[in-house]
């Protein structure tokens, strides 16, 4: 009897577990159905793609100042017109090539003028005909420079050009001095010998100049910059948050639409609970937000060469925590707003204000200290800092955990308020 | 037939306002039961309590043996609801709507697919199943709205004024659908403020007014309440004064009651033919021109008029 009772208990337990499993399966199917329905409704109009991916990419690109070129040469490009075509003019160009500030690009005068007129060049350097050693020696050499007004890059180019000319001139001066000294001791047998002596002295002076050791050792300080800013990283993270948070706040419009359309009321006459509806709606929007985020991150990695993918787990954690916090906030908003039109306006307003105040458009460090402290109540602030930890500061999972934790606390608070206040009418 | 629904003293109050004042009735398995009453009488609130949307302030009801207050989830599996206002996703196609709602009723896989096809056939929209609902006419949307309520083959179908605001052809189609569903064994609770619909469809009718069930029974039982009376409807011109005529007719011998409805005067009498001449005479005396006269047999309209002193269309 004992063993029969024991078997029977096991059977009952097995059956109840199987029943429980079936129920969970049905609920999961309903959650998926709600999420899928919302996705179809959202993407019914092709214009949704504009807000989902096209505009976010455009804004990210524009605010980042465009994508980097393939070469890593960040020097200021200077079109150079060499009408002299002499050894001296070539030496000046070579000196410019060795510069850390400018990068010479030899072009024709017409091309240089065109670039300058179209403001595609900050400055143009022209070496007219006749600039040779003789001209340098007798001081008649003249060069020209065109520069855009009030242009910082043009100023830098001017200094670089002057430095290059000075270096070439000083080599010539050194060679001339050597010739004079030699002549004072012993006259040259011929002009040819004098010229040969000058040329070898010039070569020697140039070699000495080229081999001259650096006289300044640069030591970079370890004190962090007050403004940690990289336009590309900030634009990528900031635009991602802006364009993903607004539709997530739009969950409020979804609730209003379901209420106004009577579908929520009807839904609750079916064997579907309020919790299933909320889970389906929120998880669907979070899933769409994650897809949108990964597309934007993919764009930033491939087109902007940003290093988002250093720690995929950390990336997933911060993106998920951000999406959950925003979705929960949207759910809470939805319990205060009555109509779909109101909800759309309010969610855009909150999205914009929170993005601005959270440092998504400007570095938070530029804000007054009191504001910097106050905006810690916003989920966008934590989302932005978490993402910058990854893409700007090169952090990993451990670095983003504090921000992710705060975002999950936001999610829990907002979700509790949203669920407790949720009404179907 | 056993009762599928038993409502006991259902009450719903909102602050100081009592929308439903202790409604008690039952519905037998396989019948069409109509709740007839004017707008704001409490029909939708009653259906909302029975479909577990609103918790009753007091009282209870059982549906299929399950209490709406204690076991609402079990009740939801027994009932289907066709709400008064369209409750569909207009950006989805009819098929997508039916699939989604079927999933909400717990259907899935092949049974869902075949049931959706059956319902599309039933509501006559198979060939337009892949069109978005927002492109449909009002009548077609109503049919989808009904179809959603049929997906899980409910034992009891609540239909809350399903013909409001649609063309006569679609209305006819909906009434025929209700009759067909009933023939297939489905029990229907139908609410309406159209006397003709309740008369055409119902096995039994409950008349509801100001949150109270003021009469309940078959049509014969209800019309007997007003006795063997007939109703004379006098249609008068727009510039005439119906109140004056009604007042004058109240004094005519054989007239039990004379009420004004828009540009009509309804006169309840035992035999319309006997008073016809006197009625026309009174109108002529006062210079009121009668455009036409209808004589109606005892009906639910007369019952409502008899019980409330108001016509259904006016309230």
3-state SS class at B260: strand
Q: Are A269 and B86 inside 8 Å of each other by CB? A: no
Q: Are B103 and A33 inside 8 Å of each other by CB? A: yes
- Whether residues B59 and B197 share a domain: the answer is yes
Q: Do residues A420 and A328 touch, judged by C-beta distance below 8 A?
A: no
- Whether residues B248 and B206 share a domain: the answer is no
Question: Quick check: A100 pLDDT over 50?
Answer: yes
As a whole number of angstroms, the distance between CA A108 and CA B291 comes to 101
As a whole number of angstroms, the distance between CA B45 and CA B19 comes to 7
- Is the residue at B178 inside a domain? yes
- Whether residues A160 and A274 share a domain: the answer is no
**A259 touches B: beta carbon within 8 Å:** no
Q: Do residues B86 and B145 touch, judged by C-beta distance below 8 A?
A: yes
Question: Quick check: A105 pLDDT over 70?
Answer: yes
Q: Which chain B residue lies closest to A44 (C-alpha atoms)?
A: B91
- One-character DSSP codes across B155-217: SEEEEESTTTT--HHHHHHHHHHHHHHHHTT-EEEEEES-HHHHHHH-SEEEEEETTEEEEEE
3-state SS class at A103: strand
As a whole number of angstroms, the distance between CA A257 and CA A56 comes to 25
Count CA atoms closer than 13 A to B239's CA, side-chain side. 2
As a whole number of angstroms, the distance between CA A132 and CA B85 comes to 93
| CB neighbour burial string for A213-238, b if at least 16 within 10 angstroms, e if fewer | eeeeeeeeeeeeeeeeebebbbbbbb
Task: Give the model's pLDDT for residue A215.
Answer: 54
- Distance of residue A30 Cα from the nearest chain B Cα, in angstroms: 6
Q: Are B104 and A41 inside 8 Å of each other by CB? A: no
Question: Quick check: B216 pLDDT over 70?
Answer: yes
Q: What is the CATH number of the domain that holds B40?
A: 3.40.50.300
**A39 touches B: beta carbon within 8 Å:** no
Give the mean pLDDT of A6-25.
78
Q: Do residues B149 and B159 touch, judged by C-beta distance below 8 A?
A: yes
Q: What single DSSP character describes residue A106?
A: E
How many distinct structural domains can be found in chain B? 2
- Whether residues A83 and A51 share a domain: the answer is no
- Whether residues A405 and A307 share a domain: the answer is yes
- Whether residues A61 and A86 share a domain: the answer is no
- Is the residue at A309 inside a domain? yes
The first and second tokens of residue A235, run together, are 């634009």
Given pLDDT bands bounded at 50, 70 and 90, which one contains residue A15? confident
As a whole number of angstroms, the distance between CA A250 and CA A46 comes to 18
- Whether residues A181 and A252 share a domain: the answer is no
- Residue B226 has a CB neighbour count (10 Å cut-off) of 21
Given pLDDT bands bounded at 50, 70 and 90, which one contains residue A121? confident
- Is the residue at A50 inside a domain? yes
- Whether residues A246 and A379 share a domain: the answer is yes
Question: Quick check: B314 pLDDT over 60?
Answer: no
How many distinct structural domains can be found in chain A? 2
- Is the residue at B302 inside a domain? no
Range with lowest mean pLDDT among A98-102, A309-313, B116-120: A98-102
Task: Give the model's pLDDT for residue A293.
Answer: 95
Give the mean pLDDT of B110-132.
95
Task: Give the model's pLDDT for residue A264.
Answer: 94
% of chain B beyond a pLDDT of 70: 98
Question: Quick check: A93 pLDDT over 70?
Answer: yes
- Whether residues A203 and A340 share a domain: the answer is no
- What is the residue range of A205's domain? 76-211
Q: Are A44 and B91 inside 8 Å of each other by CB? A: yes
**A27 touches B: beta carbon within 8 Å:** no
- Is the residue at B250 inside a domain? yes
The first and second tokens of residue A295, run together, are 């597309």
Q: Which chain A residue lies closest to B158 (C-alpha atoms)?
A: A269
As a whole number of angstroms, the distance between CA A38 and CA A263 comes to 12
- Is the residue at B311 inside a domain? no
- Whether residues A105 and A131 share a domain: the answer is yes
**B53 touches A: beta carbon within 8 Å:** yes
Mean pLDDT value across chain A: 87
Q: Are B96 and A40 inside 8 Å of each other by CB? A: yes
- Whether residues B113 and B160 share a domain: the answer is yes
Task: Give the model's pLDDT for residue A276.
Answer: 92
Residue of B85, B105, B132 lying closest to A271 (CB–CB): B105
Given pLDDT bands bounded at 50, 70 and 90, which one contains residue A221? low
Range with lowest mean pLDDT among A55-69, B57-71, B146-160: A55-69
- Is the residue at B214 inside a domain? yes
- Is the residue at A6 inside a domain? no
**Best CA proximity match to A40, nearest among A394, A284, A267:** A284
**A29 touches B: beta carbon within 8 Å:** yes
Given pLDDT bands bounded at 50, 70 and 90, which one contains residue A4? low
Give the mean pLDDT of B20-34.
96
Q: Between residues 132 and 151 of chain B, which touch chain A (CB distance below 8 Å)?
A: 132, 148
- What is the residue range of B87's domain? 3-223
- Distance of residue B21 Cα from the nearest chain A Cα, in angstroms: 22
- Whether residues B203 and B125 share a domain: the answer is yes
Residue of B86, B87, B89 lying closest to A41 (CB–CB): B89
Give the mean pLDDT of A245-259.
93
Task: Give the model's pLDDT for residue A80.
Answer: 94
**B91 touches A: beta carbon within 8 Å:** yes
Task: Give the model's pLDDT for residue B179.
Answer: 95
């Amino acid at each position: 009897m004992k063993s029969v009772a024991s078997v029977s208990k096991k059977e009952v337990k097995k059956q109840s577990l199987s029943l429980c499993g079936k129920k969970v399966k049905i609920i999961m199917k309903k959650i998926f159905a709600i999420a899928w329905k919302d996705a179809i409704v959202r993407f019914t109009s092709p214009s949704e793609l504009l807000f989902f991916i096209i505009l976010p990419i455009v804004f990210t690109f524009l605010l980042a100042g465009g994508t980097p070129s393939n070469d890593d040469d960040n020097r200021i490009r200077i079109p150079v017109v060499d009408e002299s075509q002499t050894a001296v003019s070539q030496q000046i160009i070579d000196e410019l090539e060795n510069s850390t500030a400018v990068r010479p690009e030899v072009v024709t005068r017409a091309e240089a003028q065109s670039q300058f007129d179209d403001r595609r060049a900050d400055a143009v350097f022209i070496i007219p005909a006749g600039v040779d050693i003789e001209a340098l020696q007798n001081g008649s050499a003249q060069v020209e420079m065109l520069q855009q007004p009030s242009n910082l890059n043009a100023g830098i180019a001017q200094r670089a050009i002057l430095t290059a000319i000075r270096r070439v001139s000083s080599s010539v001066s050194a060679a001339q001095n050597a010739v004079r000294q030699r002549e004072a001791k012993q006259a040259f047998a011929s002009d040819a010998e004098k010229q040969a002596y000058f040329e070898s002295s010039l070569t020697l002076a140039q070699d000495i100049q080229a081999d001259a050791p650096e006289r300044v050792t640069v030591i970079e300080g370890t004190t962090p910059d007050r403004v940690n800013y990289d336009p590309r990283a900030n634009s990528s993270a900031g635009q991602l948050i802006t364009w993903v948070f607004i539709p997530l706040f739009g969950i409020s419009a979804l609730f209003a639409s379901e209420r106004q359309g009577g579908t929520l009321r009807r839904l609750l006459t079916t064997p579907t609970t309020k919790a299933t509806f909320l889970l389906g709606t929120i998880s669907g929007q979070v899933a769409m937000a994650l897809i949108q985020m990964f597309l934007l991150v993919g764009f930033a990695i491939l087109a902007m060469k940003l290093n988002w993918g250093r720690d995929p787990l950390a990336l997933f954690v911060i993106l998920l925590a951000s999406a959950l916090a925003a979705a929960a906030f949207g759910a809470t908003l939805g319990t205060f707003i009555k109509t779909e039109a109101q909800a759309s306006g309010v969610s855009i307003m909150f999205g914009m204000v929170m993005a601005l105040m959270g440092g998504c458009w400007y570095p938070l460090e530029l804000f007054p200290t009191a504001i910097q402290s106050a905006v810690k109540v916003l989920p966008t602030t934590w989302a932005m800092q978490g993402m910058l930890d990854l893409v700007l500061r090169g952090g990993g999972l451990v670095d983003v955990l504090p921000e992710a934790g705060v975002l999950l606390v936001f999610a829990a608070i907002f979700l509790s308020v949203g669920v407790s206040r949720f009404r179907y009418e | 037939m056993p009762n599928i629904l038993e409502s006991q003293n259902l009450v719903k109050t909102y602050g100081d306002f009592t929308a439903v004042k202790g409604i008690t009735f039952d519905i037998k398995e396989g019948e069409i039961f109509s709740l007839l009453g004017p707008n704001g009488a409490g029909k939708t609130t009653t259906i909302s309590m029975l479909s577990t949307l609103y918790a009753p302030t007091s009282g209870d009801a059982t549906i299929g043996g399950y209490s709406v207050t204690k076991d609402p989830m079990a009740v939801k599996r027994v009932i289907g609801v066709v709400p008064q206002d369209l409750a569909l996703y207009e950006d989805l196609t009819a098929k997508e709507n039916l699939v989604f709602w079927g999933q909400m009723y717990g259907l899935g896989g092949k049974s869902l697919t075949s049931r959706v096809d059956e319902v599309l056939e039933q509501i006559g929209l198979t060939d337009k199943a892949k069109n978005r609902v927002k492109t449909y006419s009002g009548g077609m949307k109503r049919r989808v709205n009904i179809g959603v309520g049929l997906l899980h083959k409910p034992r009891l179908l609540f239909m809350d004024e399903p013909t409001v605001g649609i063309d006569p052809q679609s209305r006819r189609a909906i009434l025929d659908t209700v009759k067909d569903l009933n023939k297939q064994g489905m029990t229907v609770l139908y609410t309406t403020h159209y006397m003709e619909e309740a008369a055409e469809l119902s096995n039994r009718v409950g008349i509801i007014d100001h949150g109270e069930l003021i009469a309940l029974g078959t049509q014969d039982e209800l019309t007997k309440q007003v006795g063997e009376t007939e109703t004379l409807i006098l249609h008068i011109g727009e510039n005439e004064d119906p109140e004056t005529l009604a007042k004058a007719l109240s004094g005519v011998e054989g007239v039990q009651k004379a009420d004004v409805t828009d540009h009509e005067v309804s006169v309840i009498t035992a035999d319309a033919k006997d008073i016809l001449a006197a009625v026309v005479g009174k109108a002529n005396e006062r210079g009121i021109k009668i455009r036409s006269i209808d004589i109606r047999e005892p009906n639910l309209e007369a019952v409502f008029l008899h019980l409330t002193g108001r016509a259904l269309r006016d309230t």
